[in-house]
Chain A
């Protein structure tokens, strides 16, 4: 394998006594789409800012494109496109002015930027809003503009911190499609999310983070294989009866998880298990058989659900 594009060892970030990122190791290969999955406060954004050479680590090592961000911040940032968790567009300028000014920060020629803007407006489906002040855009439009802005310099690595939060389902799917296309062009993607469907869709490989630590690493499929069963049976008996019935259910499969509103049963064949339950006359009020997802992996690793 060639030199990784990003490589971190023992990477740590402390704010006072609080450890936001706790000695994590990871590598990102060129052209890969790498995800950081984790709940609120896991340390995803902090890690992203360190990779983006805009936050100083407390200890450990990290190289991006073979360079240390502490010494070569501007050189590294010249290769990056950054989509922060919170949009920081200039709300008093128009859509095109925002793209233009950002392009200038990379020292790009006015002529190049003007041509690029047309392409980016199409990418973000903002052609009709080109001369509208950012203030007057919807949340989803702002998000798309922030993503377009990150592409003005044609980055080698695109850093996306929760790219689709606030987008409607259609806009999300369109964005996923656009990101796929960038990936095909050889752009390396680093994505944080707490949507497991997004992680499953977009990431070749991901790490599950919690409380500043990496809990597991692998492709979505590998993680599901390693930490969950093929299928999951979700049953509800109403909040009072759940507790009472749980011990019976526990005996019927390798692992169960009791959530406040439902019980998850991990098995290879969900339908078969459901039949067994019905045969025992346990009568769940609702039941659902589904494939295991990263949510289940997360639950297994941390004992908590990803989105409360």
Chain B
């Protein structure tokens, strides 16, 4: 064995090495990632600022959005969706690739790296991509005067936290997947799509019929959106609801890791 190998050091930094590898794979796509991170908010701002927003405000004033401009109402929600989309990209595909498509996790696991370290490394890399996306998005919103720096900076950590929680649960769930076509279809059509439509992104959740609202309640995107509104423009939230939103996301994070650690270990030692 090479004398430079220290198992103690690997025990502490293993996840970082995995994240390093993930990030260097991501950097192969750096221009795409950057264009999406900047282009996505630009398109939405133009479409909503010039089009939809004017229409909404002209027709119903600001009453439907709790007294703020439509763009102010929707901006934190769009930020949250962008963060969650980035989290999904960097959580689901690497795990499918790692276990199934290219079996990269088996290669990692033939070194001193363990299953839980691989899961954590994938998570850290996903968080890096989310942070990049959120910061770019936020900067565009600031540049267009949609939010103010002093009032909205804390949206950044909150939105990253929420997307991180989502990434954790996706890593855990994807690790359990054996049949991928089926999983991708179900996840996209039955979970991701409804999540984007029923999370109070484009209109307040409570303006929907009550029987549709539970979709929002279990959607990480809704919790992230509510928190984003609260932190970006002082949208009213009770202390109870604030706690509920954070607690829900924290539960996803912890549950996601518990599931991921167990599933990664089992799958890698079969």
Contact = CB atoms under 8 A, between A and B. Distances in A.
Interface string B16-33: 011011001100100000
Contacts of A104: 17, 20-21
Given A90-B25, A92-B25, A78 B110 contact: no
Contact of B1 (A88, A105, A154): A154
A54 B103 contact: no
Nearest to B270: A55
16 contacts: A52-B110, A54-B110, A54-B269, A84-B110, A89-B107, A104-B21, A105-B18, A106-B2, A107-B4, A107-B5, A107-B9, A107-B10, A107-B14, A108-B2, A153-B111, A154-B2
Given A74-B11, A109-B4, A54 B268 contact: yes
Contacts of A90: 21, 25, 102, 104, 107
Given A74-B10, A75-B112, A104-B20, A54 B104 contact: no
Interface of B: 1-2, 4-7, 9-11, 13-14, 17-18, 20-21, 24-25, 28, 102-104, 106-114, 268-270
A101 B28 CA distance: 14
Interface residues of A, number: 34
B10 A78 contact: yes
A77 B25 contact: no
Contacts, number: 99
Interface in A108-127: 108-109, 112
B4 A93 contact: no
Nearest to B2: A154
A92 B24 CA distance: 11
Residue among A73, A92, A105, A108 with most chain B CB within 10 A: A105
A183 B109 CA distance: 25
A306 interface: no
A78 B5 contact: yes
A97 interface: yes
Contacts of B104: 88, 90
Contacts of B28: 92-93
A75 B106 contact: no
Contact of B110 (A77, A108, A156): A77
Interface string A127-153: 000000000000000000000000001
A8 B11 CA distance: 27
Given A74-B10, A91-B102, A93-B25, 19 more contacts: A56-B270, A74-B7, A74-B113, A75-B112, A77-B111, A77-B112, A78-B10, A84-B106, A84-B107, A88-B102, A88-B104, A88-B106, A90-B107, A93-B24, A105-B108, A105-B113, A106-B5, A154-B1, A156-B1
Contacts of A89: 107
Interface in A81-101: 82, 84, 86, 88-93, 97, 101
B103 A106 contact: no
Contacts of B110: 52, 54, 77, 80, 82, 84
Contacts of B107: 84, 88-90, 102
Contacts of B268: 54
A181 to B, nearest CB: 17
A88 to B, nearest CB: 4
Contacts of A77: 110-112
A218 interface: no
